[in-house]
């Protein structure tokens, strides 16, 4: 079913879902109307229908939120579920060792999308969140995925613009090419202060049964002299996840010591 301007009702519903952000997960109907460009009466009608199906919900203040039904369906059918299930035991093992942030990211468009994240009280600053995104050129996970991604993707990212978050962010094509080459050569990305001066990102590739890089396992730890000692932990865990995804692979931490 399409409206008079040719836009389908489904397209309007998608606009409503996209109005929510991690920073603003609850909106009034008026705010949804303003963000989507829908007439308030149209927004109100569509919101009411989506609430009836459980895709949206209302809180005690009549603000609208994403409903649990949408999360349930998305999680149940997500192709990333097996990846997350394979990675979690290894992520938990890494987290026990480093005591800061451990995260799992995949390539989505020209960004890295984070499927899972473990953290701890008093951990170093980290801008990552579950279902959050970061640019490929600045994050350790993104650099791993970019280094092993399609050539046309690398050229598109290298063409810029490359936002600079700190003085150490690889924000020129020449610097980024060098960083990507180093990540491929050494088998991991080491990113001191790329997104925040106090944070060090270290990421290693996760491969599927065909040997293709399908994800990046990363830690965010303090940007201090002891950072290199974390590299073997990350690489070993990433290899463990890769084995868990491969034919006959083991998903047990017992078969992949984090102190290798």
The residues, any chain, with a CB within 8 Å of residue 123's CB and separated by 6 or more, are 99, 100, 101, 220
Q: What is the pLDDT of residues 126-155, one digit of tens each?
A: 888 887 899 999 999 999 999 999 999 999
Six-digit token string for 52: 């009836």
Q: What is the pLDDT of residues 182-197, one digit of tens each?
A: 999 999 999 999 999 9
Q: Note whether 28 and 130 are same-domain residues.
A: no
Of 29, 57, 74, which marks where a domain is finished?
A: 74
Residue 260 has pLDDT above 80, yes or no: no
Six-digit token string for 173: 């094509």
User: If we measure between CA atoms, which residue out of 134, 98, 121 comes closest to residue 216?
Assistant: 134
Q: Note whether 64 and 103 are same-domain residues.
A: no
Q: Which pLDDT score, from 0 to 100, does residue 201 have?
A: 97
Three-state DSSP class for residue 97: helix
Q: Note whether 60 and 112 are same-domain residues.
A: no
For residue 236, being part of any structural domain is answered with yes
Of 25, 58, 74, which marks where a domain is finished?
A: 74
Q: Note whether 147 and 204 are same-domain residues.
A: yes
Q: Which pLDDT score, from 0 to 100, does residue 200 have?
A: 96
Sign of CA dihedral 215, 217, 221, 223: negative
Number of domains in the chain: 2
Task: Label the pairing between strands 101-108 and 213-222.
Answer: antiparallel
For residue 20, being part of any structural domain is answered with yes
Q: Note whether 66 and 93 are same-domain residues.
A: no
Residue 44 has pLDDT above 90, yes or no: yes
Q: Note whether 129 and 99 are same-domain residues.
A: yes
CA dihedral 256, 191, 139, 120 (to 10 degrees): 60
Of 74, 95, 121, which marks where a domain is finished?
A: 74
Q: What is the pLDDT of residues 151-176, one digit of tens each?
A: 999 999 999 899 999 999 999 999 99
- How confident is the prediction for the chain on average, in pLDDT? 89
- CA angle (65, 43, 77) in 5-degree steps: 50
Q: Note whether 181 and 201 are same-domain residues.
A: yes
pTM, entire model: 0.78
Q: Note whether 171 and 191 are same-domain residues.
A: yes
For residue 16, being part of any structural domain is answered with yes
CA–chain centroid gap for 196, Å, is 17
Contact present, 90 and 253 (Cβ < 8 Å): yes
Q: Which pLDDT score, from 0 to 100, does residue 132 have?
A: 86
Bridge partners for 74 per DSSP: none
Determine what percent of the chain is predicted with pLDDT higher than 70: 92
Residue 95 has pLDDT above 50, yes or no: yes
- CATH number of domain containing 61: 1.10.10.10
The domain of 204 spans 79-255
- CA angle (200, 206, 211) in 5-degree steps: 145
Sign of CA dihedral 122, 20, 68, 92: negative
For residue 2, being part of any structural domain is answered with no
The residues, any chain, with a CB within 8 Å of residue 68's CB and separated by 6 or more, are 54, 57
Six-digit token string for 27: 């909106």
For residue 227, being part of any structural domain is answered with yes
Q: Note whether 93 and 215 are same-domain residues.
A: yes
Q: Note whether 223 and 96 are same-domain residues.
A: yes
Residue 251 pLDDT grade (very low, low, confident, very high; cuts 50, 70, 90): very low
For residue 4, being part of any structural domain is answered with no
Three-state DSSP class for residue 79: coil
For residue 18, being part of any structural domain is answered with yes
- CATH number of domain containing 174: 3.30.450.40
Question: Mean per-residue pLDDT for 56-66?
Answer: 93
User: If we measure between CA atoms, which residue out of 243, 226, 244, 249 comes closest to residue 97?
Assistant: 226
Q: Note whether 238 and 132 are same-domain residues.
A: yes
Residue 77 pLDDT grade (very low, low, confident, very high; cuts 50, 70, 90): low
Three-state DSSP class for residue 9: helix
Task: Give the end-to-end CA distance of the chain in Å, rounded to a whole number.
Answer: 58
Q: Which pLDDT score, from 0 to 100, does residue 12 have?
A: 94
For residue 1, being part of any structural domain is answered with no
């Amino acid at each position: 079913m399409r409206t008079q301007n040719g836009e389908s009702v489904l397209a309007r519903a998608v606009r409503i879902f996209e109005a929510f952000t991690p920073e603003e997960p609850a909106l009034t109907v008026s705010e949804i109307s303003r963000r989507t460009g829908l007439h308030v009466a149209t927004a109100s009608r569509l919101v009411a229908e989506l609430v009836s199906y459980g895709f949206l919900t209302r809180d005690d203040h009549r603000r609208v939120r994403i409903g649990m039904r949408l999360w349930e369906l998305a999680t149940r059918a997500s192709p990333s579920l097996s990846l997350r299930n394979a990675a979690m035991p290894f992520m938990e093992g890494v987290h026990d060792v480093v005591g800061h942030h451990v995260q799992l990211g995949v390539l989505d468009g020209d960004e890295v999308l984070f499927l899972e994240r473990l953290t701890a009280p008093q951990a170093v600053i980290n801008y990552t969140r579950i279902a959050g995104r970061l640019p490929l050129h600045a994050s350790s996970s993104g650099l791993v995925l970019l280094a092993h991604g399609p050539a046309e993707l690398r050229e598109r990212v290298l063409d810029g613009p490359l936002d600079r978050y700190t003085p150490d962010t690889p924000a020129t094509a020449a610097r980024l090419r060098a960083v990507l080459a180093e990540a491929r050569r050494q088998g991991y990305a080491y990113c001191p202060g790329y997104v925040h001066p106090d944070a060090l990102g270290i990421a290693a590739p996760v491969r599927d049964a065909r040997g293709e890089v399908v994800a990046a396992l990363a830690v965010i730890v303090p940007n201090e002299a002891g950072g290199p000692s974390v590299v073997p932990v990350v690489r070993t865990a990433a290899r463990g996840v890769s084995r868990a995804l491969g034919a006959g692979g083991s998903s047990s931490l017992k078969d992949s010591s984090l102190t290798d």
